[in-house]
Amino acid sequence: MTTEHRTRPGDSRRSTTRLTRWAVSSLWPNQRLRWTREGISYLVVWFGLLATGLYQQINLILLVAGLAAGPVVASIFVSAAMLRRLKITRRVPAYVFAGESLWIDYVLQNDRRWTAALALIVQDDVTPVDRSIAGAGHTSPRVFFPRVPGRDRSQIRWEGVGPSRGRYIFKSLDLGTRAPFGLLERRVTLFEADSLLVYPRIGHLTRRWHLYEREASETRRGRRHERSAQQHEYHGLRDYRPGDSPRWIHWRTSARLGQPMVKEFEQQHEQDIAVLIDPWLPRTKVDPKQREAVEKAIEFAATLCYETCRHAGRRILLGWTGAVPGVRQGPGSVKILHEFLSQLATMRPSAEGGLAPLLDALPPSTLRESLIVVISTRPINLYEEAEKSSRLSETSARGVIGRVTLLDVSRGDLTDLIQFGESGLTRVGQADSPADLVETPLRAARPSSSIGEPPIATRPGRVSPGSRDEMEPRP
């Protein structure tokens, strides 16, 4: 028994269509072609020669016009071949501080065996996720590769200044060339996604703030004679003295020695701190000064968290108002600092919420012992907020208010408490710069995409040892 296979007319038509698309994509793979300024001038002169030759019927001029068309035709085909079998890779740091140095590495690999890649232009596209943040804007890094030999790769670093805080995404890469004559520019778009987190700008706390914090801490220690065990470090035992608290008597040792012995503690000079930020903005008619006040409040909170996390063992809490108040806390470390800075980097202003719900969300130990710093963009009446609280009684509210440092950014309370460099940058390259404390190896490069092929599904690269969670503060 034999089976007869018949070819349908539709099948041959589809095969011809696929073959045509393959031929076009091989010669012209997802590319755009445009005339350069020099090319337009060249085209005008060529049309002039052609029109003159046709009008005057001069064969010599027509021959010159025909020869002049050669560079245009060569530019079309050579530029298409120049972008074949190339791979481009982008290496982006995991984070950067606003106003500090930002660098991005671009690696171009030429997989062709003999021919070199000439006059290649790489243009990137960096877009903010949240455009409501003041100062967030579009950035277009651009680098130039003059020549990449066959079976070789070349790396060029683009350097700039970190944009405003927030999360930024890299959507696509444009790779173009003007080879061989610069008359035409051919470009191809590669969709290689990536992201960049920009932390708030870090400044320097002035001497006035340190004096103010010391006075508040000393006042707190003077008001409370009997501090909890969490605020002391056990030192040893000693004889009982008149005025000592009976709670600190070590009864087992006292019974063995036959005389009262009390536990001796060493007071901690560093007090735990709670940073509460109220990034309030009205719903309508927002003034530019109000947006600037929100950014100043976030920058001061970030600087305060940075300075506090430099002292290991000191606990810190970050809270923020909103429709749903948020709280994060932990001992001062690099890990908790990254969490705080990430939260502040993406923090959005809100017209809802107040200080009272945030006070209700704080842990009881923070309300009892910590130094509370409230940074707000609007005037706040602490007594009214304490009355609205459902957790604070009249007695506890007075104790909390006595330990609150209220800073109203709209009145200029931060002017004498924080400073930035003359150029608006933080200390780049110095031993005590923000990048030194939270230094992290760069994220590994993602798999490159080949030109003329569909984008390859990428997977995150491995991070080298010593990631941000493993780094410890420098002494």
Q: What is the mean pLDDT of residues 388-407?
A: 85
CA–CA separation, 66 and 46 (whole Å): 9
Give yes or no: residues 402 and 316 share one domain: yes
Identify whether 2 is part of a domain.
Answer: no
Pull the structure tokens for residue 427. 């200390």
The residue out of 215, 249, 267 marking a domain boundary is 267
At residue 451 the predicted structure's pLDDT band, cuts being 50, 70 and 90, is very low
Identify whether 82 is part of a domain.
Answer: yes
**CA nearest 74: which of 147, 180, 146?**
180
CATH number of the domain bearing residue 396: 3.40.50
Per the CB < 8 A criterion, the answer to whether 192 and 172 are in contact is yes
Give yes or no: residues 34 and 125 share one domain: yes
Check residue 9 and give its pLDDT: 54
Give yes or no: residues 53 and 111 share one domain: yes
Check residue 249 and give its pLDDT: 83
CA–CA separation, 205 and 433 (whole Å): 13
In this prediction the pTM is 0.73
CA–CA separation, 57 and 36 (whole Å): 31
Residue 81 clears pLDDT 80, i.e. is over it: yes
Give yes or no: residues 183 and 89 share one domain: yes
Per the CB < 8 A criterion, the answer to whether 65 and 49 are in contact is yes
CA–CA separation, 109 and 145 (whole Å): 11
Identify whether 218 is part of a domain.
Answer: no
Percent of the chain with pLDDT over 90: 41
Q: Helix axis angle, 334-345 relative to 288-309, nearest 10°?
A: 170
Omega of the bond prior to 180 within 30 degrees of 0, cis? Answer: yes
CB atoms within 10 A of CB 185: 19
Check residue 265 and give its pLDDT: 58
Looking at this protein, which amino acid is placed at residue 384? E
Residue 218 clears pLDDT 80, i.e. is over it: no
Identify whether 300 is part of a domain.
Answer: yes
Looking at this protein, which amino acid is placed at residue 331? P
CA–CA separation, 220 and 203 (whole Å): 27
The residue out of 267, 293, 315 marking a domain boundary is 267
CATH number of the domain bearing residue 132: 2.60.40.10
Give yes or no: residues 315 and 256 share one domain: no
CA–CA separation, 303 and 300 (whole Å): 5
Write the DSSP symbol of residue 459. -
Identify whether 433 is part of a domain.
Answer: no
At residue 434 the predicted structure's pLDDT band, cuts being 50, 70 and 90, is low
Per the CB < 8 A criterion, the answer to whether 199 and 98 are in contact is yes
Give yes or no: residues 293 and 254 share one domain: no
CA–CA separation, 215 and 227 (whole Å): 18
Give yes or no: residues 54 and 192 share one domain: yes
CA–CA separation, 310 and 308 (whole Å): 5
- Domain count across the chain: 3
The alpha-carbon radius of gyration of the chain (Å, integer) is: 34
Torsion of CA 381, 382, 386, 387, to 10 degrees: -30
Give yes or no: residues 343 and 246 share one domain: no
At residue 463 the predicted structure's pLDDT band, cuts being 50, 70 and 90, is very low
Give yes or no: residues 66 and 113 share one domain: yes
Give yes or no: residues 285 and 262 share one domain: no
Q: What is the mean pLDDT of residues 16-31?
A: 64
The residue out of 243, 267, 291 marking a domain boundary is 267
Give yes or no: residues 337 and 445 share one domain: no
Identify whether 46 is part of a domain.
Answer: yes
**β-strands 184-190, 194-199: how paired?**
unpaired
Give yes or no: residues 244 and 275 share one domain: no
CA–CA separation, 337 and 306 (whole Å): 7
* Per-residue pLDDT reduced to its tens digit, 120-132: 999 999 999 988 7
Identify whether 12 is part of a domain.
Answer: no
CA–CA separation, 321 and 349 (whole Å): 9
CA–CA separation, 173 and 86 (whole Å): 13
* Per-residue pLDDT reduced to its tens digit, 130-171: 887 877 788 899 999 999 999 999 999 999 998 999 999 998
* Parent domain of 330: 271-419
Residue 258 clears pLDDT 90, i.e. is over it: no
Identify whether 20 is part of a domain.
Answer: no
Higher pLDDT, 267 or 147: 147
Mean pLDDT across the chain = 80
Pull the structure tokens for residue 273. 């701190």
Q: What is the mean pLDDT of residues 238-258?
A: 80
